[in-house]
Amino acid sequence: MRDNGGPDRAIDTDPMPPSPFPLEPTPAAAQAAIRDEFAFFGDWSERYQYLIDLGRKLPPLDEACKDERHRLAGCQSMVWIVPAGDASRLDFAAASDSAIVSGLIYLALRVYSGRSAADIVATQADDIAAFGLGKHLSPTRSNGLAALLAFIRDTAQRALA
């Protein structure tokens, strides 16, 4: 469990509900698949709809985890994230009250959840900008996405320590 933003947030050791992640064998393969999927759509309204559809695929987060302890600081929307595992495999469960943010969570978990801490730390989130999503997000959503990615990276770095 974590305390809202402190550097000494603990990683949950309780088993997590079944997760669909990872879908691809490596973070790089996940980023490439996401880039290809978004390139398929002709305009941003289609991409936003796809993002919302992805958010609907997130496994439900236990209501008990939707508390201040698991709330992600830096997001305008309500976002809760629960890390579990150790350096050999970190899993993340997360939810949001926003459809678009839920889609962003899905993308982040697709790349990072179910991976080793070393893989997470070694994987840059540059592909989000590469397929143009960054410039189409509001500043508050961009800040929230940055907070989510920083939380995942910080969790991995702590697992390696």
* Secondary structure (3-state) at 124: coil
- Cα distances (angstroms) measured from residue 137 to each of 44, 74, 120, 128, 129: 11, 15, 24, 11, 10
Residue 58: CATH number of its domain: 3.90.1010.10
Does residue 153 fall inside a structural domain?
A: yes
Per the omega criterion (within 30 degrees of 0), is the bond before 59 cis? no
Does residue 99 fall inside a structural domain?
A: yes
Number of structural domains (the chain) is: 1
Sign of CA dihedral 34, 38, 44, 47: negative
Does residue 10 fall inside a structural domain?
A: no
Tokens coding 74: 């830096």
Residues 6+ apart with CB under 8 A from 142: 134
Q: pTM score > 0.85 for this model?
A: yes
* Catalytic site positions: 75
Does residue 8 fall inside a structural domain?
A: no
**Which domain, by its residues, includes 71?**
27-160
Tell me how far apart the alpha carbons of residues 154 and 95 are, in angstroms, rounded to a whole number: 19
Does residue 22 fall inside a structural domain?
A: no
Does residue 1 fall inside a structural domain?
A: no
Does residue 147 fall inside a structural domain?
A: yes
DSSP 83: E
Per-residue pLDDT tens over the stretch 103-158: 999 999 999 999 999 999 999 876 565 566 667 777 777 788 889 999 999 999 99
Per-residue pLDDT tens over the stretch 38-90: 888 888 889 889 999 999 999 999 999 999 999 998 878 899 999 999 999 99
Does residue 51 fall inside a structural domain?
A: yes
Tokens coding 89: 């495999």
